[in-house]
C-alpha cells in the first residue's frame, strides 16, 4: 500500500512544484484501475458525493473542466450532468499524502444527488436512539 513516490515528496515545502504528469502517473489506483474522488461544494463546503475516476476520467476532467467519473454500474465514462443537467465545474483538484484519493472543489449546478437532494449524504446515524434519520426530503 505505501506509495514510494508520494513518500518521497512528503517533506516538500509550501510552494514547491512537481511536474503534473509525473505526479498523476504515480497515483495509486485500486485493482479496477480506479481512485476515489470526493466532490466538495466550493461555496457551502458541503461534501456532495464520492465517486470514482480512472486515468482517462482524470484527464478528461482536467481537460474539460467538468467532473467526469467512471460509472462502475455502466462501465463507462460519465460526465456528471450529461443526462440530468446537474454538472459539476471543477475549481480545484487536490491529491492526498499517499496518492490514493482525490478531493475536488466544484461549482455544482442543481442538486448533486440522483434523488435530487442537494447532497448524497442525507442519512444520519443517531447512536443515541439507534436509528438512521433522513435529514432531507426529495423534492416533489
Interface residues toward a second copy, by CB under 8 A = 1-2, 9-21, 23-24, 36, 38, 40, 45, 47, 49-50, 62, 72-73, 92-98, 101, 103, 113-115, 117, 120-127, 129-138
Residue number, 64 or 82, with CB nearest to a second copy: 64
Q: How far is the CB of 68 from a second copy (least distance, A)?
A: 14
Return d(Cα 8, Cα 56) in angstroms, integer: 25
Residue number, 82 or 125, with CB nearest to a second copy: 125
Return d(Cα 67, Cα 19) in angstroms, integer: 22
Q: How far is the CB of 50 from a second copy (least distance, A)?
A: 4
Residue number, 1 or 85, with CB nearest to a second copy: 1
Residue number, 17 or 85, with CB nearest to a second copy: 17
Q: How far is the CB of 122 from a second copy (least distance, A)?
A: 7
Return d(Cα 4, Cα 26) in angstroms, integer: 9
Amino acid at each position: 500500500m505505501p506509495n514510494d513516490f508520494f513518500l518521497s515528496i512528503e517533506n516538500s515545502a509550501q510552494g514547491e512544484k512537481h511536474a503534473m504528469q509525473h505526479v498523476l502517473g504515480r497515483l495509486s489506483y485500486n485493482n479496477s484501475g480506479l481512485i476515489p474522488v470526493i466532490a466538495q461544494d466550493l461555496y457551502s463546503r458541503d461534501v456532495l458525493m464520492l465517486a470514482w475516476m480512472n486515468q482517462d476520467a482524470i484527464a478528461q476532467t482536467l481537460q474539460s473542466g467538468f467532473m467526469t467519473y467512471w460509472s462502475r454500474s455502466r462501465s463507462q465514462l460519465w460526465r456528471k450532468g450529461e443526462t440530468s443537467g446537474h454538472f459539476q465545474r471543477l475549481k480545484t483538484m487536490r491529491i492526498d499524502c499517499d496518492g490514493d484519493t482525490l478531493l475536488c472543489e466544484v461549482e455544482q449546478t442543481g442538486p448533486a444527488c440522483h434523488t435530487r437532494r442537494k447532497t448524497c449524504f442525507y442519512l444520519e446515524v443517531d447512536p443515541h436512539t439507534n436509528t438512521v434519520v433522513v435529514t432531507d426530503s426529495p423534492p416533489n
